[in-house]
């Protein structure tokens, strides 16, 4: 079956062969014919009988952070299963959304997960279809597209499901892209035409992206990687640090107090980027110039609320819980500020060595939220399951969603937890291999972004990895030359005011990089290097307006009363983003 586009290219047969429509190709018979042979994939068996196909017409997606509004697109939804030879009862599900033949642009897009999920449960698939790419998601072999790793991670208390662990770590994405690319080529009868391969994901999905770039240099032409949950050994334990500071210092601030401290921080640091817009574009200058003690004595008030909050389990949005909080009315205390300052300083061992970093000032203190006890009338420790589940399930190997207490846990215990997870999962979830030479030599391109006010994965985590890659690959070059060489194919953009993989409610006038896959495609396919990254203001008075993001290590600085954006280098600011992790006796990448 040939399509009009390739017939035109061939220049013959137009009069006799009908152009193929979505209706013609979106059948199980055609999908079965397009399924590659199992022999093409070592160790796998593909199951033609499992194939389903259904056409979807006139779909629309709007208000998405990662691609613009699109109305009225059509696609073919194909699902299939394969299994690993030698594993009993093994079944991995794949789902592909294939654009209508006349809209297909020789592209493949893999999409990743969030929290402990390995996919976005169809939510991310439109992001490729709108750019003429076949989009794919995998279920990792966990039983369904909505089953997440933590649900299948233990075969019994004490026994890791290593197949699931390694599928999540990197194997499932590799297998999906190999199968999906071969399937796409057959489905559209591409012959020897090039299929461009892309990856797009944020958070755990960002980690999954790095897992592929670090291991499989020929798999991708380019990857969009947002706020990656890399350095997982440190990352997940770190969620508990705010709680441990409160527990150690013996002060449990009402959430409104920390919120007020943060609001005052945003207000005080807003102008440091040269534009008074409620957005802190320079948290580095905020670190250098803002004294958090200045918030002491300010009055705060938060109304009583009964909220059904999404329970954040492992960064994931899965279940919800209704909680009632009373009105909070008070003044910011010296104790509250001491707790906030200690949290912002990041985890250090008892003898003062740095073990990890916290979020930037201006990131909300969500991890450190306390809980109201209506019997005692006091605010109490509320251990976040984001960190607690990691310790219970992934370190202690118990089928539990959290730990019960932080009694007897010290800053040294936390450091030991970090080392334990780092060692145990170094080859599978740590995902910080810093030598990307094979990927660079294969011509791959990376656009990496991270919200500057991310309250769930430290912005500095992305900066640190980026700088480690520079040092390992270009350590012989000067800082300027090494940066130039790295930026030639791998760019990092910090997003002013943005939270975790999304714009922030507290800084609503901030931009968000909404057309990044398009920018990556232009870089890969046309050689257009993104010196700055296109972003869009997603809410507020200037909603819809365009705003550029600066490429690291350049930092934004507005001139002419906030009307002209400069991207500048400033050594003092840069130095606030570099860390010496001297709590460890081996390098932390
Ligand atoms: C496509 O959907 C829109 C609403 O989403 C509707 O207004 C329009 O009539 C539909 N078009 C067709 C051809 O079905
Ligand atoms: C895609 O196909 C699967 C399997 O039939 C189905 O569960 C899913 O709902 C379909 N999705 C869409 C958008 O059609
Ligand atoms: C902090 O700012 C946010 C957004 O501007 C606002 O909704 C909230 O009420 C403020 N919190 C406090 C404690 O003032
Ligand atoms: C804030 O106040 C505390 C307690 O008085 C003091 O130890 C600390 O040095 C002060 N911090 C700054 C940055 O001035
Ligand atoms: C909060 O406390 C202040 C004084 O501490 C008082 O004047 C004000 O009325 C209180 N506000 C509310 C809403 O309770
Ligand atoms: C597994 O661990 C959980 C959490 O510690 C415990 O509640 C459960 O009883 C254990 N199950 C078995 C079979 O020991
Ligand atoms: C903490 O340590 C004390 C003293 O060693 C011990 O009595 C207590 O049971 C411990 N608490 C927990 C929760 O382990
Ligand atoms: C750095 O220079 C040394 C000595 O000349 C050489 O062995 C090494 O391969 C170089 N490394 C890089 C990353 O260029
Ligand atoms: C940049 O973003 C604006 C919206 O802010 C959008 O209109 C424009 O198409 C984007 N440009 C590119 C090249 O993606
Ligand atoms: C600077 O910009 C702000 C906000 O747009 C405006 O209110 C103010 O008048 C401007 N100042 C000057 C001197 O133009
Ligand atoms: Ca600003």
pLDDT digits (tens, 9 = 90+) for 166-197: 999 999 999 999 999 999 999 999 999 999 99
Q: Is 264 in the same domain as 159?
A: no
Q: Is 153 in the same domain as 254?
A: no
pLDDT for the residue numbered 311:
56
Is the minimum distance from the CB of 404 to ligand 7 under 6 angstroms? no
pLDDT for the residue numbered 9:
34
Residue 25: name the closest of 177, 186, 179, 176 by CA.
186
Q: How far apart are CA 220 and CA 227, in angstroms?
A: 19
Residue 492: name the closest of 524, 462, 472 by CA.
462
How confident is the model over 510-543, as pLDDT tens digits? 999 999 999 999 999 999 999 999 999 999 999 9
The reply to whether 384 falls in a domain is yes
The reply to whether 219 falls in a domain is no
Is the minimum distance from the CB of 50 to ligand 2 under 6 angstroms? no
Distance of CA 127 to the CA centre of its chain: 15
Residue 407 CA, ligand 7 centroid: distance in Å? 7
The reply to whether 41 falls in a domain is yes
How confident is the model over 123-138, as pLDDT tens digits? 999 999 999 999 999 9
Residues near ion ligand 11 (CB < 5 Å) are: 270, 273, 275, 277, 279
Q: Is 159 in the same domain as 297?
A: no
Indicate which ligand has the atom closest to the C-alpha of 539. Answer: 9
What is the average per-residue pLDDT within 287-315? 84
The reply to whether 266 falls in a domain is yes
Q: How far apart are CA 384 and CA 312, in angstroms?
A: 8
Q: Are 383 and 352 in contact (CB under 8 A)?
A: no
Domain boundary among 427, 443, 463: 427
Q: How far apart are CA 409 and CA 241, in angstroms?
A: 11
Residue 436: name the closest of 217, 205, 219 by CA.
217
Distance of CA 370 to the CA centre of its chain: 26
Report which protein residue has its CA nearest ligand 1's atom 10. Answer: 58
Q: Is 183 in the same domain as 294?
A: no
| Residue 448 is among the residues annotated as catalytic for this protein | no
DSSP string, 54-93: EEEEEEEE-S-SSS--EEEEEEEEEEEEEEETT-TT--EE
DSSP string, 21-58: -HHHH-SHHHHHHHSPPGGGSTTEEEEEEEEEEEEEEE
| DSSP alpha helix (H) spans, 426-476 | 437-441, 459-474
Catalytic residue among 74, 270, 369, 454: 454
pLDDT mean across residues, the chain: 95
Angle at 481 between CA 478 and CA 483, to 5 degrees: 105
| Mutation to probe ligand 8, out of 436, 471, 476 (largest number of atoms < 8 A from CB) | 476
The reply to whether 151 falls in a domain is yes
Q: Is 91 in the same domain as 152?
A: yes
The reply to whether 8 falls in a domain is yes
Count up the domains in the chain and report the number: 2
404 CA: nearest ligand 7 atom: 13
Q: How far apart are CA 469 and CA 182, in angstroms?
A: 31
Cis peptide leading into 553, omega within 30 of 0? yes
Residue 66's domain spans which residues? Answer: 1-194
Residue 322 or 75, more confident: 75
Is the minimum distance from the CB of 146 to ligand 2 under 6 angstroms? no
Residues 444-466 as b or e (16 or more Cβ within 10 Å = b): bbbbbbbbbbbbbbbbbbbbbbb
Q: Is 31 in the same domain as 138?
A: yes
| Residue 478 is among the residues annotated as catalytic for this protein | no
Give the confidence band of 490 by pLDDT, cuts at 50, 70, 90.
Answer: very high
Ligand 4 cavity residues, CB under 6 Å: 291, 293
328 CA: nearest ligand 3 atom: 13
Catalytic residue among 110, 135, 184, 203: 203
Q: Is 276 in the same domain as 420?
A: yes
Q: Is 151 in the same domain as 275?
A: no
pLDDT for the residue numbered 2:
36
pLDDT for the residue numbered 446:
98
Domain boundary among 161, 194, 227: 194
Please report which helix (H) or strand (E) contains residue 216, including its range. Answer: none
Residue 497 CA, ligand 4 centroid: distance in Å? 26
Read off the DSSP letter of residue 468. Answer: H
Report which protein residue has its CA nearest ligand 4's atom 2. Answer: 293
Q: How far apart are CA 535 and CA 523, in angstroms?
A: 16
Is the minimum distance from the CB of 62 to ligand 1 under 6 angstroms? no
Number of C-beta neighbours around residue 36 at 10 A: 16
The reply to whether 578 falls in a domain is no
DSSP string, 103-127: G--SEEEEE--STT-SS-TTTTTHH
What is the average per-residue pLDDT within 286-311? 91
Residue 534: name the closest of 67, 133, 37, 207 by CA.
67
pLDDT for the residue numbered 310:
62
Q: Is 245 in the same domain as 145?
A: no
pLDDT for the residue numbered 314:
45
Q: Is 272 in the same domain as 180?
A: no
The reply to whether 124 falls in a domain is yes
pLDDT for the residue numbered 129:
97
Q: Is 271 in the same domain as 339?
A: yes
Q: Is 266 in the same domain as 406?
A: yes
Indicate which ligand has the atom closest to the C-alpha of 294. Answer: 4
How confident is the model over 362-400, as pLDDT tens digits? 999 999 999 999 999 999 999 999 999 999 999 999 999
Domain boundary among 404, 427, 450: 427
How confident is the model over 17-50, as pLDDT tens digits? 456 999 999 999 999 999 999 999 999 999 999 9
Residues 6+ apart with CB under 8 A from 408: none
């Amino acid at each position: 079956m040939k399509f009009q586009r390739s017939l035109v290219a061939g220049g013959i047969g137009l009069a006799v062969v009908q152009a193929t429509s979505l209706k013609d190709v979106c059948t199980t018979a055609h999908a079965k014919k397009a399924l590659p042979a199992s022999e093409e994939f070592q160790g796998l068996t593909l199951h033609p009988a499992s194939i389903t196909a259904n056409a979807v017409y006139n779909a629309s997606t709007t208000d998405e952070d990662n691609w613009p509004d699109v109305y009225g697109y059509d696609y073919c939804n194909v699902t299939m299963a394969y299994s690993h030879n030698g594993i009993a009862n093994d079944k991995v599900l794949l789902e592909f959304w294939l654009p209508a033949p006349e809209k297909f642009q020789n592209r493949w897009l893999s999409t990743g997960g969030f929290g402990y999920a390995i996919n976005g449960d169809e939510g991310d698939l439109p992001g490729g279809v709108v750019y003429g790419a076949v989009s794919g998601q995998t279920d990792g072999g966990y039983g369904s597209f909505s089953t997440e790793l933590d649900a299948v991670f233990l075969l019994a208390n004490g026994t890791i499901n290593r197949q699931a662990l390694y599928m999540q770590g990197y194997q499932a994405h590799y297998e999906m892209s190999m199968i999906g690319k071969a399937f796409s080529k057959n489905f559209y009868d591409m012959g020897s035409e090039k299929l461009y391969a892309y990856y797009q994901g944020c958070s755990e999905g960002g980690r999954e992206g790095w897992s592929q770039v670090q291991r499989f240099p020929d798999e991708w032409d380019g990857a969009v990687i947002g706020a990656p949950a890399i350095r997982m050994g440190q990352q997940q334990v770190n969620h508990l640090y705010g709680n441990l500071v409160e527990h150690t210092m013996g002060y449990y601030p009402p959430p409104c107090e920390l919120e007020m401290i943060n609001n005052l921080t945003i207000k005080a640091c807003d102008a440091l980027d040269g534009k008074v817009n409620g957005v802190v574009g320079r948290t580095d200058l905020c670190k250098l110039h803002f004294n958090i003690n200045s918030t002491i004595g300010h009055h705060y008030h938060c109304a009583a609320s009964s909220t059904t909050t999404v329970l954040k389990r492992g960064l994931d949005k899965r279940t919800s819980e209704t909680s009632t909080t009373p009105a909070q009315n008070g003044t910011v205390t010296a104790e509250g500020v001491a707790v906030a300052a200690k949290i912002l300083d990041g985890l250090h061992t008892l003898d003062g060595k740095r073990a990890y970093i916290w979020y930037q000032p201006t990131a909300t203190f969500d991890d450190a939220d306390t809980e109201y006890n209506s019997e005692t009338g006091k605010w109490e420790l509320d251990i976040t399951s984001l960190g607690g589940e990691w310790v219970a399930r992934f370190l202690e190997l118990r089928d539990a969603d959290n730990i019960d207490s932080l009694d007897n846990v010290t800053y040294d215990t936390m450091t030991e937890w970090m080392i334990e997870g780092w060692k145990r999962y170094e080859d599978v979830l740590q995902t910080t291999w810093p030598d990307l030479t094979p990927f660079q030599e294969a011509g791959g391109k990376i656009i990496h972004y991270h919200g500057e006010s991310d309250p769930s994965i430290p912005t500095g985590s992305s900066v640190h990895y980026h700088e480690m890659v520079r040092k390992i690959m270009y350590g012989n070059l000067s800082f300027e030359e090494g940066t130039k060489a790295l930026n030639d194919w791998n760019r990092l953009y910090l997003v002013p005011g943005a939270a975790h993989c999304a714009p922030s409610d507290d800084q609503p006038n901030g931009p968000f990089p909404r057309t990044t896959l398009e920018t990556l495609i232009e870089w890969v396919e046309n050689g257009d290097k993104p010196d700055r990254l296109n972003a869009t203001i997603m809410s507020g008075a200037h909603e819809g307006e365009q705003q550029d993001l600066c490429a690291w290590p350049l930092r934004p600085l507005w001139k002419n009363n906030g009307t002209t954006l400069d991207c500048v280098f400033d050594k003092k600011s840069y130095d606030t983003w570099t860390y010496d992790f001297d709590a460890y006796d081996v390098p932390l990448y």
